[in-house]
Amino acid sequence: MELLGRLTWVRRSPRARLGAPARQFSTPRLDLALAKTPPPASLDANFTCFNQNCGKTFSLGEVRYRCACEKNALLDVTHDYEKIKQAMSPSDWRALFDRRAGSTLWPYGSGVWSKKEWILPHIDNENIVSMFEGNSNLFWAERFGKTLGLSELWIKQCGLSHTASFKDLGMTVLVSQVNHMRKTGQAEIAAVGCASTGDTSAALAAYCAAAGIPCIVVLPRGKITTAQLLQPIANGAIVLNIDTDFDGCMKLIQEIVGEVPIYLANSLNSLRIEGQKSAALEILQQFDWEVPDWVVVPSGNLGNIYAFWKGFNMAFELGLVNKVPRMVVAQAHNANPLYRAYRDGWTNFAPIKAEATVASAIQIGDPVSIDRAIYALNRSDGIVEEANEDEIMDISARADMTGMFTCPHTGVGLAVVEKLRQKGTIDRDDRVIVVSTAHGLKFTQSKVAYHEGKLKDVISKHANQPINLPDKSSALIDALRTRIKL
Ligand SMILES: Cc1ncc(COP(=O)(O)O)c(C=O)c1O
Ligand SMILES: N[C@@H](CCOP(=O)(O)O)C(=O)O
């Protein structure tokens, strides 16, 4: 059945304006009933060992984060691609996802649950914990792109979300599965817990509060922002401040979930990946299923780069697109274990002691998803690049002066794009997506310090200080004359 539909929220890409043919759509809207299409009964998903030679599988109803094999490998949520292909044609899947996203059809309006069949097909809709996550803005940074010599620089604003970071995407899936397991008696789970640099904890606290499930967050004391600390406090989570760094917190949470019935919510748990991969499918939808050339992801624990690749690759394997983009991991120089391994030709990966960085959420030296990240980079002709503190804050300030309000992690991504453009790795007309992983309003401390010229290792070349004046119009005009031609 060929389905026709009007994409109500696809932007006409610059290529269309530049004369390249953009796909024309018919005007009739898809039948509303289509969007409510129940998942084909045969679709399901399982945990599978990430080690390709193992083959062990486990029910998603099990409390399990790693395989039982001798490698104790991570897991991956796997779907039966043949059954998905048999269920509907690629064009029908595209049309179904397009019709649902952004609608008020529970739970399908969510950017994640509009792809339910590709994420958690088995879960009862009433057990889904969703706050309309996803459907984030894909912003054409036309003016700033020109300063970098790019005609198609786009920002996927995953930080425009319920808790102001991309973590909501994975958390809706994980907390929904926990809710489902508790409601169906599949497992005794007293609470859900995570270690965090501040965004995972914020997302977990919000979704647990929405579900009425107890939440525990383990945080590196003094190393997260005020906004990040306030979120789990406000959502009623048990907030444990530990005198260590994130890597120390990650070690602790893994120890306690092995001893008491607390369910682990870090992206070591592959359920998180399933939700986060939906942002890749959204990018394809927003470009009318055209595949971008580059996707740049600021990275720390390395779950998100794999999630994005997995989303693009699922669409490719299932015939909805004809390729995957080149993936780029962007790291802060002060927390760059993957960059070091890449620079040394993948000969050896060694955890490091991550140093303080303005990109505080990626101050991670011992990433749990190292194998996943390398797997994704090897299958997308991927690149790893880094940016130092001055490069991060300088380009953040330049981007902000074109209307953005970047978090420092977005700054890492932009700085890496600038480097790759300057090297000629990225061409002028390549379509480049930088994933903005959080909202700048969660990270104001570093921005304030930048404009006050108080950041270590940073020259505030674009500092913009407020002018304090008496309440006299003449004083204001005099001050303005020093700034603009009147
Ligand atoms: C704002 C922000 N950006 C980027 C990242 C990196 O994502 P990942 O840990 O999946 O590499 C994180 C968390 O780790 C984050 O909180
Ligand atoms: N930046 C993350 C660190 C943990 O990453 P996760 O993928 O394990 O959740 C955070 O915000 O805590």
Q: Annotate 463-474 with three-state secondary structure.
A: CCCCCCCCCCHH
Q: Which ligand is nearest to the CA of 304?
A: 1
Q: Distances from the Cα of 83 to the Cαs of 59, 79, 96, in angstroms? A: 18, 9, 17
Q: What are residue 157's DSSP bridge partners?
A: 436
Asked, for residue 226, whether it belongs to a domain, the answer is no
| Residue 437 · residue 159 · CB < 8 Å | yes
Query: Amino acid identity, residue 157?
Result: Q
Asked, for residue 363, whether it belongs to a domain, the answer is yes
| Residue 267 · residue 170 · CB < 8 Å | yes
Measured in angstroms, how far is the CA atom of residue 292 from the centroid of ligand 1?
22
Helices (H), 23-76: 32-35
| Residue 252 · residue 229 · CB < 8 Å | no
User: Can you tell me the mean pLDDT for 284-303?
Assistant: 98
For residue 296, is pLDDT > 80?
A: yes
| Residue 276 · residue 172 · CB < 8 Å | no
Residue with the smallest CA separation from ligand 2 atom 9 is 266
Domain of 335, in residue numbers? 138-163+273-451
Separation CA 481–CA 64 (nearest Å):
65
State pLDDT tens for residues 106-153. 999 999 999 999 999 999 999 999 999 999 999 999 999 999 999 999
- Substitution candidate for ligand 1 out of 171, 362, 372 with most atoms within 8 A of CB: 362
Tell me, what's the pLDDT at 295? 99
State pLDDT tens for residues 15-33. 554 454 444 433 334 445 5
Asked, for residue 419, whether it belongs to a domain, the answer is yes
Asked, for residue 295, whether it belongs to a domain, the answer is yes
State pLDDT tens for residues 364-410. 999 999 999 999 999 999 999 999 999 999 999 999 999 999 999 99
Query: Amino acid identity, residue 348?
Result: N
- Substitution candidate for ligand 2 out of 173, 246, 301, 360 with most atoms within 8 A of CB: 301
Measured in angstroms, how far is the CA atom of residue 75 from the centroid of ligand 1?
19
Domain count, the chain: 1
DSSP single-letter state for residue 54: T
**Coil vs helix vs strand at 294:** strand
Asked, for residue 441, whether it belongs to a domain, the answer is yes
Asked, for residue 325, whether it belongs to a domain, the answer is yes
**Coil vs helix vs strand at 479:** helix
Query: Amino acid identity, residue 467?
Result: I
3-state SS of 418-436 is HHHHHCCCCCCCCEEEEEE
Separation CA 448–CA 460 (nearest Å):
11
First-to-final CA distance of the chain: 64
Pairing of strands 191-195, 138-140: unpaired
Ligand 2, CB cutoff 6 Å, lining residues: 167, 196-201, 266-267, 300-301, 303, 361
CA atoms within 13 A on the CB side of 184: 17
State pLDDT tens for residues 327-371. 999 999 999 999 999 999 998 999 999 999 999 999 999 999 999
Tokens 């070091």, residue? 340
CA atoms within 13 A on the CB side of 335: 30
Does residue 301 have its Cβ closer than 6 Å to ligand 1?
Answer: yes
Measured in angstroms, how far is the CA atom of residue 368 from the centroid of ligand 1?
12
Q: At what angle do helices 303-317 and 370-378 cross, to 10 degrees?
A: 40
Does residue 368 have its Cβ closer than 6 Å to ligand 1?
Answer: no
Closest atom, ligand 2, to C-alpha of 361:
1
Does residue 95 have its Cβ closer than 6 Å to ligand 1?
Answer: no
Does residue 165 have its Cβ closer than 6 Å to ligand 1?
Answer: yes
Q: Any idea what the CATH number is for the domain that residue 371 is in?
A: 3.40.50.1100
Does residue 438 have its Cβ closer than 6 Å to ligand 1?
Answer: yes
